[in-house]
Structure 1
């Protein structure tokens, strides 16, 4: 019963929004944590022939290795990489292992939204589905063995050998950038920005039009209050909504945002979903915790006494509009987050 509920919620979220068309390439961002691992399992089951309502997109996986800024030794980083590669290989999907150090070599185009792609599937979602089903039936008639959502070039990427870490000089340069951030909050924001840039650039380079993030309802609620505290209230809808179209050619979607952290933990436990634990971001001696950590502790503490706290905060975010985040011109766009500059005081 719980499994059917969990599966239905995931597919209903995708079906209700209808932003992922049949045959599209979708990049799943995997951190090894509970939410992203559960998301990958849902996609695996949704693509199987036994699924009642099969998913019809072409998945790929990406993992951003962040051991350099999480205080891991070289041996620990290699061990984590090996664990993640084993987990990604087991899915059978093409995957990409990238390091956070690669953010230092990103092209300047990452600071600009790409040209929006016209939908290749037709003017309507229904027509796209019908066309895709007919195409699959023709392929099945010729071969009889084709899998839905997979094409011949989508073979697992990556080398089976031990993953190679970046040069020590690159790691030191990255660490200097993080150590230059004055507070733990600034480092958290920098890490999130670099991670997102790497995922979007990987999607662009590999031809993916969508990127799936495994952010749970609990994480979305924490981000809502965190961004309010950081003065990013105008951008809450794009930072926490189901879709985020600020990057233009790559749309970010969050299909796990209806699941609480407890639901995900139960699902992973009952159905043996593998996860990989990574340490938190490093902190300096006698440093105050980041706003992200304070908000998370505050919300989880309230949740223990008042069980509807997190869901109430989440529902508040559902009512927000993404319009305030749109930039009126290039000069009014933030280079880091690609949202409109919220510098003009409006009338109250």
Structure 2
């Protein structure tokens, strides 16, 4: 998603001359997140993002000072924004900085190139980090066999692709949880799921008959795992907020998050999954005059 220079009006408004917070002290308005939101300048927008990220931890009151947490980093836009916001919230210039101790985890699959670009991004932030190959984290063999069979398939059906994407998503989450608890000994895992992604996962889960687990997948804290609590500090950020934050912070996503199954998609260009269809459905409503679509789904 590209953002033009000058006044950014995602929902078509461009007739407001002052930032609603600083009244023009820090610059001209540059951001309209939704049609019914007030305009913000770049400085106030970035400050608002930091406040939103930090307040997610404050409201939940789960992570204490000096608690060790694992931060999952794939190199995609949302995880990069989470990494940068964690750095900004640890800055000494912040009056109410977060005081947990993060260790960044980057996983990569067997047969995939070593994530050099992700490593560079993690070094810049300055947190401790670990780069782990997924075959070093033991999982149920049946899960791996199922994914391998689908990846080797010459053609995919809609239902097969839906099942494969869901299996891959859960396998990666379980790998992160296992590494967090067994190798690091941490009790908290931060993941970068944003509001737009969570809304799509919500509808996709209901469509697949998993409505009973939807509530746990949408909240800030997910306590379904025994040893690790999954935290989603980006759960209040829309996808376009993430893009704008990276733009104004001077960052570019290292990669778009990829899965090994992606190689098979070219073999069946007409194949679609429930996850992709729900994401397209929500995005089309969000940007077609219904700016509260994502928030309504999450409520």
Which of 170, 175, 178 aligns to 2:148? It is: 175
Within 2, Cα distance between the matches of 1:107 and 1:23?
33
1:264–1:67 CA distance, 2 compared to 1 (3 A): farther
Matching residue of 1:48: 91
Within 2, Cα distance between the matches of 1:221 and 1:43?
23
Within 2, Cα distance between the matches of 1:56 and 1:19?
13
1:302 aligned onto 2:279: no
Matching residue of 2:250: 272
Q: Displacement, 1:90?
A: 1.6
TM-score normalised by L of structure 1: 0.65
TM-score normalised by L of structure 2: 0.75
Q: Displacement, 1:67?
A: 7.3
Give runs of aligned pairs for residues 105-254 of structure 1, distance below 5 A. Answer: 105-106=138-139, 175-176=148-149, 178-179=151-152, 183-204=160-181, 205-254=183-232
Give runs of aligned pairs for residues 309-320 of structure 1, distance below 5 A. Answer: 309-315=293-299
Within 2, Cα distance between the matches of 1:67 and 1:307?
41
1:292 aligned onto 2:270: no
Q: Is the 8 A contact 1:100 1:194 kept in 2?
A: no
Matching residue of 2:71: 28
Q: Deviations over 1:262-301 (max 9, x none)?
A: 1111110011124212456233533621110111111111
Q: Displacement, 1:54?
A: 1.2
Structure 2 unaligned blocks of 5 or more: 1-43
Within 2, Cα distance between the matches of 1:56 and 1:196?
25
The structure whose Rg is larger is: 1
Within 2, Cα distance between the matches of 1:263 and 1:18?
24
Within 2, Cα distance between the matches of 1:84 and 1:295?
29
Which of 237, 261, 282 aligns to 2:263? It is: 282
1:2 aligned onto 2:45: yes
Within 1, Cα distance between the matches of 2:210 and 2:152?
24
**Using CA pairs below 8 Å that are at least 6 residues apart, which structure has the higher relative contact order?**
1
1:231–1:174 CA distance, 2 compared to 1 (3 A): closer
Which of 75, 86, 91 aligns to 2:125? It is: 91
**SS at the partner of 1:283?**
helix
Within 2, Cα distance between the matches of 1:99 and 1:5?
36
Q: Deviations over 1:321-345 (max 9, x none)?
A: xxxxxxxxxxxxxxxxxxxxxxxxx
Structure 1 unaligned blocks of 5 or more: 69-73, 112-169, 316-348
